[in-house]
Amino acid sequence: MYELSLACRRANQSSIQYIYDILNKYITQNTNVIITRHDDNVFCYILFACNEKKKDEYDAIIKQAIISYIINVYKCDYLKKNIKISLTDDFSYDAYIKVLSLFDKSTDENILDKLIVLNQSLFIDSFIEFRMSPLIAHWNELCDLAKDNSMFFLSSSSFIEIIRFLVNSMDTTCKKIKILCKDGVYSIYSVIEQSDEVKKVGDSFCKLDLISQVLTISPMNIDVYVNNDYNDEALGFLSDVYTSRLKIYVN
């Protein structure tokens, strides 16, 4: 039997919860796997066990969940703390940070894949504080670059051009997604290649969450379906960034 424990301080329990939610989605469908989460007065834990023969398979899934947390959550928080620029509103700033966090994502993933070693236990906080210095150095270069180019954010057109450049530099992960806007909810579907079938990715209940999900998916093309009274800041932002790659259909 292969056993693994992940832990963090209670003050940072969101990291364990994020990782657990991913693992719970992909792993608990297998009856030959045991996964549980519990807290004590100081730490939060994920405990995992599976057949020894499945160790490499599930190690890869667990490692990817940790990488997802570090890039999608921790990196965003780090960039926010270290990049202070003046933009017209909080939405534009948060959208920029999200785009920046996903820029050169493959480099982050490659560095983390080499740094993360799963050997019966991993303390998330210690890993971030003491093992991630090569990645933090890479992020600091990104912060310095953003600060050096902050003058371009004074113009809304220059801001969109920078966002568009960063998005166009990202690797695409799927050919097309569809976004259905109804009653204040954005439903996102991925389009299966070489067919008209769609698979629901998820629902977004706020404009920043929509931006975050679309950027994380990084589609080649986007089809949006809206009502006649369409007037949406998030969709307007995506339209400005993706230009001809995004089409809007009015019901």
Structural domain boundaries in the chain = 2-167, 172-250
Query: Locate tokens 């792993």: which residue?
Result: 27
- pLDDT by residue (tens digit) across 40-67? 999 999 999 988 888 888 899 999 999 9
Per-residue pLDDT for the chain (251 aa), expressed as one digit of tens each? 889 999 999 999 999 999 999 888 877 666 678 889 999 999 999 999 988 888 888 899 999 999 999 999 999 999 999 988 777 678 888 888 999 998 888 999 999 999 999 988 999 999 999 999 999 999 999 999 888 877 777 677 888 888 899 899 888 888 899 999 887 788 999 887 766 678 888 887 788 888 988 998 889 999 999 886 667 788 889 999 999 999 999 87
CA distance 177 to 200: 9
CA distance 19 to 39: 15
Region of 115 please: left (phi>0), alpha (psi -120 to 50) or beta.
Answer: alpha
- pLDDT by residue (tens digit) across 209-228? 889 889 988 899 999 998 86
Are 125 and 12 in contact, with CB atoms under 8 Å apart?
yes
Pairing of strands 121-123, 43-50: unpaired
CA distance 248 to 222: 9
Question: Which amino acid is it at 176?
Answer: K
* SS3 state at 180: strand
Residues in the chain, how many? 251
Which pTM does this prediction carry? 0.86
Q: How many helices (H) and strands (E) does the chain have?
A: 10, 9
Task: Give the CATH number of domain 172-250.
Answer: 3.30.420.60
* SS3 state at 248: strand
Question: Which amino acid is it at 12?
Answer: N
CA distance 30 to 171: 31
Pairing of strands 121-123, 2-9: parallel
Q: Which two tokens stand for residue 118?
A: 């799963």
Q: How many CB atoms lie within 10 A of CB 160?
A: 15
